[in-house]
Structure 1
Amino acid sequence: MHLNKRNIFLISAAMVLTLECSPAAMAQAGTESQSTVDSGQIADIVVTAQRREENVQKSSLSIEVLSKEDLAKSGVTSARDLGQLVPGLSVAQGGSYAQTFIRGVGDATTNDFSSSGVVYSENGVVINRNIALSPNFYDLERIEVLKGPQGTLYGRNSTGGAINLITRRPGYETGGYVTVEAGNYNSLKVNGALNVPVSDIFMLRGAFQIAKHDGYLSDGRNDQDQRAGRLTAMLEPSSDFSLLVVADVQHEGGKGPGGALLPLPAGASAWTGPSDTLSTSRLPSIAILPNANTAFINGNYASVSAEANLNVGFAKATLVAGHRYVDQHSSTAQPGFTTNYAGKSKQDSVEFRLSNQSNVLRWVAGLYYFHENIDSVLNPTISNVIPFLNASFDIPSLPTTSLGAFADATFSVSSSFRLLGGIRYTHDKKSILGMLNDFSIAHLPSVAISGSANYSRVTWKAGAEFDVGPQNMLYATVSTGYKAGGFSAVAPPNNQFRPESLTSYVFGSKNRFLGNRLQINAEAFYWKYNDYQTSVLQPQPNGIVSQPIINAGSAKIYGLDLDVTAKITKLDTIRFVGEYLHTQFGEFSYVRSATGLVPGVTTGCTFSGPAFTQFGNQVQTLDCSGFPLQRSPKFSGTVSYDHVFPLANGGDVDFRAFTTFAGSRWLGGEYVGAELARPFATVDVDLTYTSPDNGFTLSAYGRNVGNKPVYSNATIQPLSGGSALFTAINAPATYGVRASIKF
């Protein structure tokens, strides 16, 4: 928790720079700075989420936008940081996997066999392997978080929504920036960029980031060790043609993600690591594995993408192509549950679009191709005694191919009334080939894993927008989403799961009042969720214990979003974003061992009907109908306050306070009391000095200043008699300084 000499030196140097650049402190507060004090109106936000530039306030999109300033002040360096900024969004680390949920829809599995229900992309290219997400969060222009199914333009695996990372593009002026941030836990983050216009038509931009901090847990886990670099080239010989090429390389190291083992002994820190003796003392000897604190992550990732735009007269032609490579070795070694992973994947995608943005009819139509193959070995170990709880999933071939054709249009019936429509056809082919090997004392025979399947689905949307006034809009939409089926690492024929689907009904309003000083947006939504995919512990042939992905049932989701921004004065801004969310399984049942699959595994659900024999095992149907979906609090939101203090020298100081809150929510699928997380509220503060010419900023920050433990996922430790729970925990209180120089 203490600052080392390196960080003390950096902080001291930054403070000296502040004294040199701020001769008048906060005197004469009536003098307005041009750096952050504007006309007192709420700024417009332009996004490209629908493959065209549009003002958020003029669109029926359910979207939250995080600007580069938001990302810097909130210290975003990974996907899991986003969950603290957007109500309705939950991001947790399950081992190396980013488990992302929007309004209770997502994916909680921690392996390669399922797909996320929320699709990530960078510059329009899908990031299908969510183990390679975190090092992408630097030199970004913005992040767009779309809530609800995006089946028309984004296609497969967007039942819950989409998250778009938009990197900063080269410009026509030579310049750049360097930012240095240092804080407790020996935190050090250095990032920067250099923009070089090579000629009038060709520009380059290079960017980098180094981000490190010690582990937040007592055994060193939940640390960070990332390095990343990006080179972007822009060719624009005329207004009719442009070519953008982006290349990334990234490395991720350290001990990697970890979790707390609950409940904690009296007096123990919430950030007690799982291999700490305070944690292991509560587990039976059968669950204590050797080398429990050997966790590590060693990931190397690379990508290249290109976007070409050409004016062909009647439309603009756009080609977006990308290649991504992932190579990761990791171990989430911890007492009672160790997982070793080694995997590589190669992904290629191409999208071709034609679009026209006339005043009467705005349309886009296109074709899409995606292919990925994963070669991986996964070794989970819960005990070396119980069969197939010490196993190896050796899967050298896990390919996916997806083809799509889509069209989307907005027709202006009049200057104030518009009709929306879109349709997409998606065809997916998935297959699996590998072996499941047992290394327990019983050493059961190996099992061949194989299968191939095709899935096709039509997704669509329809809606209307009506301008009540120049700054007031009503809208209603119906849209659908689709998440592909696939295969689990168990023996056929029990290894295949079906696609899941979601239909969304939305009615909303977007408004500006008082001369663009007050913004009120409200949205009501109702979702129908079918063929919900989840992973559960089930007995398999020959006594195998495994965790296949199944289709468990259906659910209904409804709620209300409210977003209010008020420019009280030119110097004061208040924003409240809140969400009420109700989720409930109408049907959620699956087969489970009637005799207790492994000793002590408990559930809050109900066993229904008599026991029966399946694959030679006594099983019974477990019914979880009526429970809420995981990670879906009834109430969640953020509240922020910004005040600008103008300085006599023409600079200013910006104070920002940001609160995130959420109600109780289920973090695991067993629905036992320990998995019900308590409500929380955290507070972040940021104080930033900006020089008169905007060339230098210096910030002091505190995040989660109350040191509140916030848990984000949970799994029952199978051999603890139901008394121990593994859970991911967010960062404790962190603080530090950040200095940035533009040149």
Structure 2
Amino acid sequence: MKAIYRTTGSILAAVLALGMSNAALAQDAGDEESANSAADIVVTARRVEERLQDVPISITVFNQEQLSQRNIAVASDLGTYTPSLSTNTRFGPEKATFAIRGFNQDASTAPTVGVYFADVVGTRAQGGTAGGNTVGAGSFTDLQNVQVLKGPQGTLFGRNTTGGAILLVPKRPTSEFGGYLEGTYGNYDQKRVQGALNIPLAETFKVRFSFDRNERDGYMRNRSGIGPADYNDVNYFYGRLSILGELTPNLENTIVATYSRSKTNGYASHYEFCDPNAASPLVGGSLTRYYTSIAACEQIARQKARGDGPLDVEVSAQTPGINLRMWQVINTTKWDASDTLTVKNTLSYGEYREQSAFQLYSDNFFVPNNATTQFFAGRGGPLPGSRFQYIQLGTQPGYDAASGSTWTEELQLQGRTSDDRLSYVVGGYLEFSRPLGWNQQRTGIYGQCTDPGTLNCTGALPLVPLSASFTAPGVIISESRTRFNFNNHGVFAQATYKFTDQLSLTGGFRYTFDTIDGYSESNRFILATIPGAGTIPVQRVCNDSLSHPTVNLLATPDTSLCGTRIVTKSSKPTWLLGVDFKPNDDILVYAKWSRGYRQGTVNFTNPGIETAGPEKVDTYEVGGKFTFGGAVPGYFNIAAFYNNFTDQQIFGALIAKPTSGLSGGAAIINAGRSLIKGIEVDSGVNLGRILRLSVGYSYLDTEIKELITPTLAANSPFQQIIPRGVVGGELSYSPHHRLTASADLTIPTPDELGKITLGAIFTHTSSQLVDGNNRIPSTSLVNLNATWANIGGTGVDVIGFATNVTNELYRTSSGGGFESSGIGDFMYGPPRMYGVRLRFAFGGG
């Protein structure tokens, strides 16, 4: 760690020396931008550069200054400030999934929101928990902007989605030498250093290097006395190299290489409620649910006795951690073949690797002392007061919990007629995602495990009946062992025809071909602690007990005997039909109908219901974009939408049979139909060069119209599926109201003094369901920032910032395990964070 900071310090010193002579030329990048309206913002929502106000799509755009003001460092941070965008941080912020307009993603499913960096989708991965399919930590440094597109974008973007797309646009190398350095120190011992250096090596050859190193202690305090002192910490390094070669006046090639590494203690959740009346196994109740429910109640009682707050947790994991590594190389070639035709080709390769070890439900459980547990203790079961862990994921040496590589190839022809009446984009997309090895991880269930990855466990609960009068303490070790191949291909075309200078018609079509080829050799051990023999394996069988009911891996330890292969294919058309009317440069009104599609899924953890089919949505949207100038320039954008959502993929909690040897499961089912409707508003005004105000708002109304639960086979290891949500209820992560309001006040000062700006950001999110059954209350957050830019013409900026200044303690998501375990736990967002940044810009910045 110290070596990294020494290296970073050397880089900073070198860049400072190079740039000091150019300090007088430094400019505040936000200065000119703050004086302009949204009419000057350029986006690439339709794969070509256009003014934001000319694009008939509902979009929220953040420039780099706004990202810094909001302290956005990882993708999940966007959800706090973007109307209609929600994040599910069930497994921590860097493994978050996204929802736009109520279109949710669960573990093992394809994203409903595509995350793109430099026009390339995030590297695919599918492990036991959500992860991958997004950008690495630190990717939000040195960007031109971030664009959040709402609604289906399938006709022009690589992978088909139903919810929308998030586009990260990196800064391009320029012809001017320059860069910046920025250091941050904040509470929770935050130390962050980031910067960029732009070097024009020749008139036609330019490079840009940027990096971000960020550390911060966790804000969830661990009160167990075991393992790390805190959770939800930050610890990542990010680097990017961009190379621009202008080979001829009409031909350019850009290479962007990125690397991200994050290594943290992981997330933790706070216990809020339990089931104190769980039925005892002596009267027909579930043995495992009884133990976890009562132990959870005792954990809550300890929290209350200590006076714990929502940011206090009690986790017994000894060596938890989440280690994520991502890298990607993107090559884009652009050839202006003529004045009316541009050929663009984008080729990329990326890899994602994850090693993770954590307790799924952040528990510190002990066998309760009551008549039921004493009954089993008298028959060889665990003694009251013995420790046991509910579900503990371990790292198996030599394997990644999730890993994958992704190749993409996209060819576009961007053209127009000589009279500019017709413009079009035609192309094809190929995506090949392949395993880098086994996705392999061992999970200890109901045991006492120092490390389930190495089978270093002892039995805890009375799982193994050896005779009518003796039950041995046992532990289940589930070994998830899977490989996935994904092929996602498509051909597309979209054209806009101008009947007049004011009236245009847009039509788009795409045909997508998707294949998932999954293979599993997943199996499970049962280890029993037997007096005189120690803890020994007494059973090892296939998890897929339906396909392989008689396999005994203790007798023949060949996991290929559990081999199950599932191949699913789907091909669907999607389309867009829209009309827009632009009576003048300042007004755009539009209406459109689009079809969205998301591929199905394969999840081997649920024998008998491993697959779910594709989902689709028909979206109808009308909107207007209005720009006004004069003494008070600004803009007002509004969109209203109606979505008819069918065959939706919904999470279903699986309740295991007592004799199954499983702890439960998380199925994905095609549950039926929902309606989603709402309104989005984005507006802003500039009062001279002194005050800039902006407001973003979304209203979302979702209703589940139909829930069809699949019928379980008679020999299924599960006895019940509990789908997320109820008919007539709303979808998860779909708050009715989201509001973001910001104000930036520039204090008039002489130019030689610099520029002083004070800013405030207010966000409000109404209450929402987070797992179909748990509702979290509304949240209101306030951020403040103050900037003194270009102090005395030196190119030095000082920025003070504070997020969540009222220190609101707010829930973000839920573990969602009450049905199977009797546990009610919640994840919490960051408390008050504050600090100061020192920034030095030189040359072109």
TM-score computed with the length of structure 2 as normaliser:
0.76
| Identity within the alignment, % | 27
Q: Provide the secondary structure at the position in 2 that maps to 1:218.
A: strand
| 2:615 aligns with one of 475, 500, 503 | 500
Within-5 A mapping of 1:690-701: 690-691=789-790, 693=793, 695-701=795-801
Cα pair distance change 1:576/1:431, threshold 3 Å:
same
- Corresponding position of 2:832: 733
Give per-residue Cα distances to partners, 1:532-553, cap 9 Å, x unaligned.
Answer: 1133233579824432222112
Instruction: Check whether the contact 2:679–2:698 (CA below 8 A) recurs between aligned residues.
Output: yes
After TM superposition, the structure 1 stretch with the greater mean CA deviation from structure 2, 437-446 or 568-577, is 437-446
Q: 8 Å contact 1:592–1:621 — kept in the other structure?
A: no
Corresponding residue number in structure 1 for 2:309: 269
Report the Cα distance in structure 1 between the residues aligned to 2:440 and 2:43, rounded to whole angstroms.
Answer: 40
Q: Which residue of 1 aligns with 2:100?
A: 102
Aligned match of 2:70 in 74, 77, 84?
A: 74
Q: 1:712 to 1:34 in 2, by over 3 A?
A: closer
Please name the residue that 1:406 is paired with: 492
| CA distance in structure 1 between the aligned counterparts of 2:476 and 2:356, rounded to whole angstroms | 17
Structure 2 residue 168 is the aligned partner of structure 1 residue 165: yes
SS at match of 1:133: coil
Which residue number corresponds to residue 784 of structure 2? 685
Q: 1:554-576: CA deviations, max 9, x gaps?
A: 11100111222122332011111
| CA distance 1:680–1:524, shift in 2 (3 Å) | same
- Does structure 1 retain, via aligned residues, the 8 Å contact 2:615–2:647? yes
SS of 1:171's equivalent? coil
Any conservation in 2 of the 1:155–1:482 contact (CA below 8 Å)?
A: no
2:189 matched to 1:126? Answer: no
CA contact (8 A) 2:137 2:261 kept: no
Matching of residue 310 in structure 1 with residue 335 in structure 2: yes
CA contact (8 A) 2:422 2:495 kept: yes
Return the alpha-carbon distance in structure 2 between the equivalents of residues 620 and 81 of structure 1: 33
CA deviation vs aligned residue, 1:47-68 (integer Å, no higher than 9, x gap): 1121100011111011111101
How far the C-alpha of 1:270 sits from its partner, in A, is 1.9
Worse-matched range after superposition: 709-718 or 465-474: 709-718
524, 527, 537: which one aligns with 2:640 = 524
1:362 equivalent among 403, 423, 427: 423
- Select which of 372, 377, 384 maps to 2:440: 377
Q: Residue 598 of structure 2 is aligned with which of 483, 492, 504?
A: 483
CA shift in 2, pair 1:378/1:468, >3 Å = farther
Contact 1:155–1:481 at 8 Å: present in 2 too? no
Partner of 1:432: 518
Q: How big is the shift at 1:357?
A: 4.2
SS of 1:332's equivalent in the other structure is: strand
AA aligned to 1:478 is W
CA distance in 2, matches of 1:70, 1:390: 49
SS at match of 1:632: coil
Matched, 1:117 2:112: yes
CA contact 1:36–1:644 (8 Å) conserved in 2: no
Contact 1:170 1:232 survives alignment (8 Å): yes
Cα distance 1:416–1:178, how it changes in 2: closer, same or farther (>3 A)? Answer: same
Match of 2:728 among 594, 616, 626: 626
- 1:135 is aligned to 138
Which residue number corresponds to residue 157 of structure 2?
154
What CA distance in whole angstroms lies between the structure 2 residues aligned with 1:720 and 1:407? 47
The one-letter amino acid of 2:37's match is: I
Q: Tell me the equivalent position of 2:673.
A: 554
Whichever residue aligns with residue 704 of structure 2, its letter is F
Q: Tell me what 1:240 maps to.
A: 250
Going from structure 1 to structure 2, the CA distance change for 1:128 and 1:565 (only over 3 Å counts) comes to same
- Give the SS at the match of 2:577: strand
CA distance change for structure 1 residues 35 and 295 in 2, over 3 Å: closer, same or farther? closer
What is the CA-CA distance between 1:646 and the residue it aligns to? 2.3
Task: State the alpha-carbon separation in 2 of the partners of residues 396 and 568 from structure 1.
Answer: 58
More helix by share: 2
* Paired position in structure 1 for 2:86: 90
Structure 2 residue runs without a partner (length 5+):
1-5, 7-27, 125-130, 223-229, 274-299, 364-389, 396-400, 448-460, 465-473, 528-537, 545-561
Specify whether residues 58 and 621 from structure 1 end up closer, same or farther in structure 2 by C-alpha distance, changes over 3 A only.
closer
d(CA) in 1 for partners of 2:566, 2:695: 49
1:741, 1:431 → 2: CA distance?
51
Structure 2 equivalent of residue 576 of structure 1? 695
122-131 vs 163-172, which moves further: 122-131
Q: Which residue of 2 aligns with 1:707?
A: 807
1:13 is matched with which residue?
none
CA distance in 2, matches of 1:399, 1:620: 28
Q: Secondary structure at the match of 2:406?
A: strand
**Cα RMSD between the aligned structures?**
2.6
Measured in 2, the distance between the counterparts of 1:617 and 1:84 equals: 37
Q: Write the deviation string for residues 243-277 of structure 1: whole angstroms up to 9, x where unpaired.
A: 000111221112123332225755422211242xx
Tell whether the 8 Å contact from 1:35 to 1:690 is kept in structure 2 after alignment.
Answer: no
How far residue 300 of structure 1 moved from its aligned partner, in angstroms, is: 2.1
Q: Distance in 1 between matches of 2:89 and 2:794?
A: 37
d(CA) in 2 for partners of 1:661 and 1:75? 17
* Residues 341-378 of structure 1: per-residue CA shift (max 9 Å, x gap): 62221111100110114521111000110011233124
SS in structure 1 opposite 2:683? strand
Map of 1:30 onto structure 2:
none
1:605-631 Cα shifts (integer Å, max 9, x gaps)? xxxxxxx94637654786821110001
Greater displacement, 526-535 / 167-176: 526-535
Question: Is the Cα contact below 8 Å between 2:97 and 2:111 reproduced in 1?
Answer: yes
Cα distance in 1 for partners of 2:721, 2:425 equals 50
- Aligned mates of 1:574, 1:297 — CA distance in 2: 40
Aligned twin of 1:418:
504
Q: Is the CA contact 1:106–1:117 (under 8 Å) kept in the aligned structure 2?
A: yes
Distance, in Å, in 2 between the alignment partners of 1:547 and 1:34 is 47
How far does residue 390 in structure 1 lie from its aligned partner after superposition? 4.0
Cα distance 1:483–1:389, how it changes in 2: closer, same or farther (>3 A)? Answer: farther
What CA deviation, in whole Å up to 9, does each residue of 1:682-702 have, x standing for no partner? 000000001254722111111
Kept in 2, the 8 Å contact 1:37–1:571? The answer is no
> Any unmatched runs of 5+ in structure 1?
1-5, 7-32, 276-290, 594-611
The range that moved more, 86-95 or 711-720, is 711-720
1:682-739: per-residue Cα shift (whole Å, max 9, x none)? 00000000125472211111100011122221123458963x3232221110000011
1:522 is paired with a residue of what secondary structure? Answer: strand
TM-score (norm 1): 0.86
Q: Is the 8 A contact 2:88 2:733 kept in 1?
A: no
**Alpha-carbon distance between aligned partners in 1 of 2:821 and 2:492, rounded to the nearest angstrom:** 51
Q: Is contact 1:644–1:654 with CA below 8 Å preserved after alignment?
A: yes
Whole-Å separation in 2 of the counterparts to 1:307 and 1:705: 43
Q: Partner residue of 2:190?
A: 187
Where does residue 17 of structure 1 map in the other structure?
A: none
Between stretches 712-721 and 239-248, larger displacement belongs to 712-721
Q: Are the equivalent residues in 2 in contact too, given 1:216–1:222 (CA < 8 A)?
A: yes
Paired residues in the alignment total: 672
Quick check: 1:79–1:91 contact (8 Å CA) kept in 2? no
Instruction: Decide which moves more: 338-347 or 144-153.
Output: 338-347
Equivalent in the alignment of 2:231:
221
- Kindly indicate whether the alpha-carbon contact (under 8 Å) linking 1:356 and 1:362 is maintained by their aligned counterparts in 2: yes
CA distance in 1: counterparts of 2:510 and 2:695, whole angstroms: 35
The answer to whether the 8 A contact 1:201-1:235 is kept is yes
